[in-house]
Structure 1
């Protein structure tokens, strides 16, 4: 029996509860960001797995890959998927960050396909659980499609980042963590649009080491194609009416 003078902690009542003045503690597995100053600002001290993380970028190539590289290295033994990157990944720069070409699967050819094809491919990767991380670039995604991908991510423990334009910050999103990324001298400026914890109005400056551009219009060196997992290979056949109907477009 709890004494009337003792106030239990919210997490003692339910793991999904937390005080508005503190960061949430949940059962979701997290991957350390590799940036101590950022990890201190995130619930459970890292990037959550099995959920949608919304990264709203002012423009591609401002350091978003360098931001994610420490976490990607931790899960790269299961491969990392780049889906619809805005430019061809720069293999030399990625190798300098500790991400070997053999650990990466990039699906650039979907850039010219319909949005439903890309969404379908993303859902298959998430549901398969065969990859350590999925980075999905998209200029426009409907809220219902985001919810579908968020639910697919919850079935596994894949790191799932949706990289979208900063203007999308005005749109609804089921992501429990939403960050804005803007370029800053020597690093990037991170804004906390949504997190399970107290509101933070002040942006966080994060210095980033220079490793060259991970995304480039011109590749210096392009590795041989890496075999994709079975669900991802199915994306090559996307574009059929049944695939589009499955995604809901």
Structure 2
């Protein structure tokens, strides 16, 4: 193996991805990720303690770069996208694609089609319960694309096995978020680390989060209903 030093991975070394990565925009996070960024062509799981703790804010730098030229797909978000907040972040509203379905199976189908047709630069999929075979299908589809793919699930899902090469546990912290590396291609990370999130403009609509007084709120989603598209009709697509 001395002739092929890069073919041998040691458990105390940070692994790497064969595909491209995109910097997260947070140095504290990048230094804990293989290749120092979000991997493309892979399933990334964000396991959140509860919705709205800053998970979208964490993705904001990557989404802002992608939205300059490509669409951002939101599949089955827990609340309706708040267009004013996205605009306040400098994200082109015409680049957002919102899909809401009646059944979880349709949401998974929609996500797989987005990955396979390469129509979007980023895909965010919210799911509470996902079967292992569905995770494998999505990860396989992601590997054949150049899409940044985040699946947002409850933190309790960290106990389940997953083919995702990167899994992060997210918990609220004052003015930021605490991250646990559940899984990565690299040495085990036993220590949580803190990422400070930028303050949001006052024009953002922030709703109170029970049990989180004084913490940063995630304003990219609200409860107002606007036009949506149905699964299996992606051409109608844009919100």
Q: 2:221 aligns with which of 191, 215, 218?
A: 215
**Equivalent residue for 1:122?**
111
Tell me the distance in 1 between the aligned counterparts of 2:147 and 2:196.
Answer: 26
Q: 1:50 aligns with which of 41, 52, 63?
A: 41
Output one character per residue of 1:162-211: Cα deviation in whole Å (capped at 9) or x when no partner: 00011111111100000001110010001000000011111110000122
Deviation at 1:234, TM superposition (A): 8.4
Assess, with a 3 A threshold, how the Cα gap between structure 1 residues 234 and 170 changes in structure 2: closer, same or farther: farther
Residue segments in structure 2 that go unaligned for 5+ positions in a row: 205-218
Tell me the distance in 2 between the aligned counterparts of 1:165 and 1:101.
Answer: 27
Q: Is 1:185 matched with 2:174?
A: yes
Tell me the distance in 2 between the aligned counterparts of 1:83 and 1:233.
Answer: 15
Residue segments in structure 1 that go unaligned for 5+ positions in a row: 236-249
Describe the SS at the equivalent of 2:185: coil
Q: Is 1:232 matched with 2:234?
A: yes
Deviation at 1:27, TM superposition (A): 2.0
Tell me the distance in 1 between the aligned counterparts of 2:40 and 2:163.
Answer: 15
Tell me the distance in 2 between the aligned counterparts of 1:131 and 1:169.
Answer: 27
Deviation at 1:9, TM superposition (A): 6.5
Describe the SS at the equivalent of 1:67: helix
Deviation at 1:97, TM superposition (A): 2.1
Tell me the distance in 2 between the aligned counterparts of 1:89 and 1:118.
Answer: 16
Q: Contact between 1:125 and 1:231, CA under 8 Å: does it hold in 2?
A: no
Q: Is 1:78 matched with 2:74?
A: no
Q: Any residues of structure 2 matched to 1:127-146 within 5 Å, and which?
A: 127-146=116-135
Describe the SS at the equivalent of 1:119: helix
Assess, with a 3 A threshold, how the Cα gap between structure 1 residues 10 and 98 changes in structure 2: closer, same or farther: farther
Deviation at 1:231, TM superposition (A): 7.1
Q: Is 1:202 matched with 2:191?
A: yes
What TM-score results when the alignment is normalised by the length of structure 2?
0.85
Q: Which entry has the higher C-alpha Rg, 1 or 2?
A: 1
What TM-score results when the alignment is normalised by the length of structure 1?
0.81
